[in-house]
Structure 1
Amino acid sequence: MSNVDLTLKACLEIDGASAAALVDYESGMSLGQVGGGTLDLDVAAAGNTDVVKAKLRTMERLGLQEGIEDILITLGTQIHMIRMIQGSNGQGLFLYLVLNRHQANLALARRQLTTLERQLDV
């Protein structure tokens, strides 16, 4: 089993997690995914790629010389987390995590996802 598969399976062990994917934001393609149920993770990967690209364009226009660590999207019953891969071997990638808003601890989930991102070897 690859490091990507192990990382994605570990993502589902985060309290409240229901889906996770590793996404290439240049192409919008998912490189791996777990969970999801009725949520189409291919559609989510492509849509969240648009979110990342829009934020990067905005930061460039503002002259911000910083990188994105993560993006949180809070819905009525879910939290969607986009964690940019910071390592040089993961340029252009992000981890996408879907959490049940009523079961998850956001601070702990962010910490756990950060740890998993750092351990990911792509």
Structure 2
Amino acid sequence: MANVEVSLKEMMTAVEGAMGAAIVDYTSGMALGTLGGGKDLDLIVAAAGNTDVIRAKVRTMEQVGLKGEIEDILITLGSQYHLIRLVKGRHGAGLFLYVVLDRARSNLAMARHQLKRVEADLEV
């Protein structure tokens, strides 16, 4: 099992093209940890904003009667992918993994696969 720091390092090294990563508590919007980012990518602000994205999607699913759980959410920009993966299980309930990818250098399918692996190993 991996802690927050190890999981962040794994997201940044194992996911090709990763520019920044965060592990976020979506009940509060607080990042438990971040790695990467920079002046053009404020991961603390992004963590809080993506909490709103998750809450809105959950609310919409309830309103339209969709069953099932969200695995991940993809936001595609011209030069980046923003990938959000909800953490399942008792060790990560209420958390999500967030990674920003350089679209030109990343493989989205592999990134999703790697995030699933990080999720499985995460223990908070």
- Settle same-fold status: TM greater than 0.5: yes
Residue aligning to 1:54:
56
The 4+ residue runs of structure 1 with deviation greater than 4 A are: none
Residue aligning to 1:10:
10
Residue aligning to 2:79:
77
Residue aligning to 1:35:
36
Residue aligning to 1:23:
24
Deviation string, structure 1 residues 83-104 (Cα, Å, up to 9, x no partner): 0001222111100000000000
Gaps of 5+ in 1: none
Aligned length: 121
Three-state SS of the structure 2 residue aligned to 1:90 is coil
Task: Measure, in 2, the Cα distance between the counterparts of 1:87 and 1:20.
Answer: 21
Task: Measure, in 2, the Cα distance between the counterparts of 1:65 and 1:45.
Answer: 26
**Structure 1 position 64, deviation (Å):** 1.6
Task: Measure, in 2, the Cα distance between the counterparts of 1:79 and 1:65.
Answer: 26
1:93 aligns with 2:102: no
Letter paired with 1:28: G
Task: Measure, in 2, the Cα distance between the counterparts of 1:88 and 1:59.
Answer: 22
TM-score by length of 1: 0.96
Gaps of 5+ in 2: none
Letter paired with 1:19: G
**Structure 1 position 65, deviation (Å):** 2.1
Task: Measure, in 2, the Cα distance between the counterparts of 1:98 and 1:86.
Answer: 20
**Structure 1 position 4, deviation (Å):** 0.9
Three-state SS of the structure 2 residue aligned to 1:5 is helix
Task: Measure, in 2, the Cα distance between the counterparts of 1:65 and 1:90.
Answer: 21
Residue aligning to 1:105:
107
